[in-house]
A and B are shown apart, each in its own frame.
Chain A
Amino acid sequence: MENLNLILPEIFISLSIMFLLILGVFKNDSSKITFNLSLFAILITTIITFNETFSVTRETLFNKSVVIDSMSSLMKIITLIGGFLVLIISSTYLKTFKIYNIEYPVLILSSILGMMVMISSNDLIVFYMGLELQSLALYVLATYNRDQLKSSEAGLKYFVLSALSSGLLLYGCSLVYGFSGSTNFDIISNQLNSEEYVLTFGIVFILVGLAFKISAVPFHMWAPDVYEGSPTTVTLFFTIVPKVAALTVFIRFLYVPFLNLTDQWQMIIVFLSIASMVFGAVAAIGQTNIKRLIAYSSIGHIGYTLAGLATTSNEGIQSSIIYISIYVVMNLALFSCLLMLRRKDQYYENIDDLSGLSKNHPLLSLCLLLILFSLAGIPPLAGFFAKFYVFKAVLEQSMYFLAIVGLLSTVIAAFYYLRIIKIMYFDKEKDKYDSDHSLWLKISLTVSTILILLYFIFPSQLVEVVSRINII
Chain B
Amino acid sequence: MNFPILSSLILLPTIGALFLFFIKEKEGNNTTIKYVALFTTVVNFLISIYLWIAFDQSTSSFQFIEDRTWIKGFINYKVGVDGISILFIILTTFITPLCIISVNNSVKNRLRDFLIAILIMESFMIGVFSALDLVVFYLFFEAGLIPMFLIIGIWGGTRRVYSAFKFFLYTLLGSVLMLVAIISIYWITGTTDVVQLYEIGIDVKYQNLLWLAFFSSFAVKTPMWPVHTWLPDAHVEAPTAGSVLLAAILLKMAGYGFIRFSLGLFPLASEVFTPLIYTLSVIAIIFTSLIALMQEDMKKLIAYSSVAHMGFVTLGIFTLQQQGIEGSIIQMISHGLVSAALFLTVGVVYDRMHSRLISTYGGLVSVIPKYSIFFMLFALASLGLPGTSGFIGEFLILMGAFKDNFLVAVIASIGVILGAAYMLWLYKRVVFGKLLNEDLKKILDLNRSEYFILSCLAAPILFFGFYPDPLINTIEVSVTDLINMHNTNIASK
Residues of A within 8 A of B (CB): 373, 378-380, 384, 388, 391-392, 395-396, 398, 400, 403-404, 407-408, 410-411, 414-415, 418, 421-422, 425-426, 456, 459-460, 463-464
**Chain A nearest CB, measured from B20 CB (Å):** 13
Contact B72 A426 (CB under 8 A): no
Contact A422 B153 (CB under 8 A): yes
Give CA–CA (A392, B73) in the complex, Å: 14
Indicate if B49 sits at the interface (CB-CB under 8 A): no
Chain A: CB-nearest residue to B145: A378
Give CA–CA (A392, B71) in the complex, Å: 13
**Chain A nearest CB, measured from B291 CB (Å):** 27
Give CA–CA (A456, B127) in the complex, Å: 14
Which residues of chain B from 136 to 178 have a CB within 8 Å of any chain A CB? Answer: 138-140, 142-143, 145-146, 149-150, 153-154, 160-161, 164-165, 168-169, 172-173, 176-177
**Chain B nearest CB, measured from A426 CB (Å):** 5
Q: A411-B172, A456-B139, A463-B71 are in contact. Are A395 and B149 (CB under 8 A)?
A: no
Contact A407 B177 (CB under 8 A): yes
Contact A396 B176 (CB under 8 A): no
Which residues of chain B from 160 to 211 have a CB within 8 Å of any chain A CB? Answer: 160-161, 164-165, 168-169, 172-173, 176-177, 179-180, 183-184, 186-187
Q: A380-B139, A380-B143 are in contact. Are A395 and B169 (CB under 8 A)?
A: no
Which chain B residues lie closer than 8 Å to A415 at the CB level?
A: 165, 169
Contact B179 A407 (CB under 8 A): yes
Which 10 pairs of residues, A with B, have the shortest CB-CB distance? A407-B176, A379-B139, A395-B183, A460-B72, A379-B142, A411-B173, A459-B71, A379-B143, A426-B153, A392-B183
Give CA–CA (A384, B175) in the complex, Å: 13
Indicate if B50 sits at the interface (CB-CB under 8 A): no
Residues of B within 8 A of A (CB): 69-72, 135, 138-140, 142-143, 145-146, 149-150, 153-154, 160-161, 164-165, 168-169, 172-173, 176-177, 179-180, 183-184, 186-187
**Chain A nearest CB, measured from B156 CB (Å):** 9
Give CA–CA (A425, B140) in the complex, Å: 23
6 residue pairs from A and B, CB less than 8 Å apart: A398-B187, A400-B184, A403-B180, A407-B179, A411-B172, A418-B165
Give CA–CA (A400, B184) in the complex, Å: 9
Mostly helix, strand, loop or mixed at chain B's interface? helix
Give CA–CA (A266, B464) in the complex, Å: 61
Which chain A residues lie closer than 8 Å to B164 at the CB level?
A: 418, 422, 426
**Chain B nearest CB, measured from A138 CB (Å):** 36
**Chain B nearest CB, measured from A259 CB (Å):** 24
Q: A373-B146, A379-B142, A425-B153 are in contact. Are A407 and B180 (CB under 8 A)?
A: yes
Give CA–CA (A408, B179) in the complex, Å: 11
Chain A: CB-nearest residue to B185: A395
Contact B70 A418 (CB under 8 A): no
Mostly helix, strand, loop or mixed at chain A's interface? helix
Contact B150 A425 (CB under 8 A): yes
Which chain B residues lie closer than 8 Å to A418 at the CB level?
A: 149, 164-165, 168-169
**Chain B nearest CB, measured from A398 CB (Å):** 8
Which chain B residues lie closer than 8 Å to A396 at the CB level?
A: 187
Which chain A residues lie closer than 8 Å to B139 at the CB level?
A: 379-380, 384, 456
Q: A379-B138, A408-B173, A414-B169 are in contact. Are A460 and B153 (CB under 8 A)?
A: no
Give CA–CA (A418, B135) in the complex, Å: 24
Which chain B residues lie closer than 8 Å to A463 at the CB level?
A: 71-72
A404 CB contact (under 8 Å) in B146, B161, B177, B186: B177
Which chain A residues lie closer than 8 Å to B187 at the CB level?
A: 395-396, 398
Which chain A residues lie closer than 8 Å to B71 at the CB level?
A: 459-460, 463
**Chain B nearest CB, measured from A73 CB (Å):** 22
Give CA–CA (A380, B71) in the complex, Å: 14
Which chain B residues lie closer than 8 Å to A391 at the CB level?
A: 179-180, 183
**Chain B nearest CB, measured from A364 CB (Å):** 14
Give CA–CA (A380, B145) in the complex, Å: 11
Chain B: CB-nearest residue to A460: B72
**Chain B nearest CB, measured from A262 CB (Å):** 20
In the complex, which of the residues B71, B145, B161, B164 has the most CB atoms of chain A within 10 Å of its own CB atom? B71
Contact B154 A426 (CB under 8 A): yes
Chain A: CB-nearest residue to B183: A395
Which chain A residues lie closer than 8 Å to B169 at the CB level?
A: 411, 414-415, 418
Which chain A residues lie closer than 8 Å to B172 at the CB level?
A: 378, 410-411, 414
Which chain A residues lie closer than 8 Å to B69 at the CB level?
A: 460
Which chain B residues lie closer than 8 Å to A395 at the CB level?
A: 180, 183-184, 187
